[in-house]
Chain A
Amino acid sequence: MRKVGIVDVALSPGVGSSLSLMEFTYKPVKEVLDKVGIKRNEVDAYVMASSDVFHSGLSCANSFDIDATGAFMKPMAREEGDSIKAFIYASLRIMSGIYDTVMVVTLIKGSEHPDNDTLTSCFADPFYTRPLGIQETTAAAMQKRLYQKRYGITDEQCAKVVVKNLGNALRNQNAHIKKRVTVEDVLNSKKICHPLRAMECAPKSDGVCAMLLASEEKARELTDKPVWLRGFGSSMDTFYLGDRDLLNTQLKNAASMAYKMAGIKNPAKEIDMAEISEPYAFQELLRCEELGLCSQGQGGSFIDSGATQMTGSLPVNPSGGVLAMNPYVPRGLYRVAESALQIKGQAGEHQIDKKVNTALAHGSYGFCGQWHGVVILGN
Chain B
Amino acid sequence: MNKRNEKPRTLKSVLRIPYEMAQGPAWTHFFEGFKQKKILGTKCNECGRVLIPARPFCPRCFEPMEEWVEVAQEGTIVTWSYVNYTYFGVTADMIPQVPVTVKLDGTDCGWWGGLIGGFDVKNFDLVNKKVKVGGRIKAVWRDKVEGNMYDIDHWEIIK
Contacts and interface: CB of A to CB of B under 8 A. Distances in A.
Interface size, B (range): 20 to 34
B19 A39 contact: no
A54 B20 CA distance: 13
A145 to B, nearest CB: 29
Contact of B59 (A72, A113, A122): A72
A30 B56 contact: no
Interface stretch (A17-25, A90-98, A344-352): A17-25
Contacts of A26: 56-57
A75 interface: no
A359 B114 CA distance: 53
B14 to A, nearest CB: 11
Given A26-B56, A33-B62, A122-B15, A57 B22 contact: no
A112 interface: yes
B23 to A, nearest CB: 6
Interface in B17-65: 17-27, 55-57, 59-60, 62
A109 interface: yes
A223 interface: no
Interface string A95-129: 00000000000000101111000110010001100
Contacts of B62: 30, 33, 39-40, 70
- For chain B, what secondary structure do more than half of its interface residues adopt (helix, strand, loop), or is it mixed? loop
B17 A17 contact: no
B13 interface: yes
Contact of A22 (B13, B17, B19, B24): B24
Contact of B22 (A20, A70, A122): A20
Contact of B25 (A23, A54, A119): A23
A67 B22 contact: no
Contacts of B27: 20
A109 B57 contact: no
Contacts, number: 66
B148 to A, nearest CB: 14
Contact of A57 (B21, B59, B60): B21
A113 B15 contact: no
Interface string A6-17: 000000000001
A72 B24 CA distance: 22
Given A33-B62, A70-B62, A19 B21 contact: no
B11 interface: yes
Given A114-B17, A114-B19, A127-B11, A23 B59 contact: no
Given A57-B17, A114-B17, A118-B17, A19 B59 contact: no
Nearest to B58: A67
B156 to A, nearest CB: 30
Contacts of B18: 114
B26 A20 contact: yes
B28 to A, nearest CB: 9
A10 to B, nearest CB: 14
B21 A23 contact: no
Nearest to A127: B11
Contact of B20 (A24, A66, A112): A112
Interface in A37-62: 39-40, 54, 56-57
B22 A112 contact: yes
A57 to B, nearest CB: 4
B57 A30 contact: yes
Contacts of B20: 111-112
30 contacts: A17-B22, A18-B22, A19-B22, A19-B24, A20-B21, A20-B23, A21-B22, A22-B56, A23-B25, A26-B56, A26-B57, A33-B62, A40-B62, A54-B17, A57-B17, A57-B19, A67-B55, A70-B62, A72-B60, A109-B22, A111-B22, A112-B19, A113-B17, A113-B19, A114-B17, A118-B17, A119-B17, A126-B11, A126-B13, A127-B11
Given A21-B22, A24-B24, A126-B13, 13 more contacts: A17-B22, A18-B22, A18-B24, A20-B23, A22-B56, A23-B26, A39-B62, A57-B21, A67-B57, A68-B57, A112-B22, A114-B19, A119-B17
Interface of A: 17-24, 26, 30, 33, 39-40, 54, 56-57, 66-68, 70, 72, 109, 111-114, 118-119, 122, 126-127
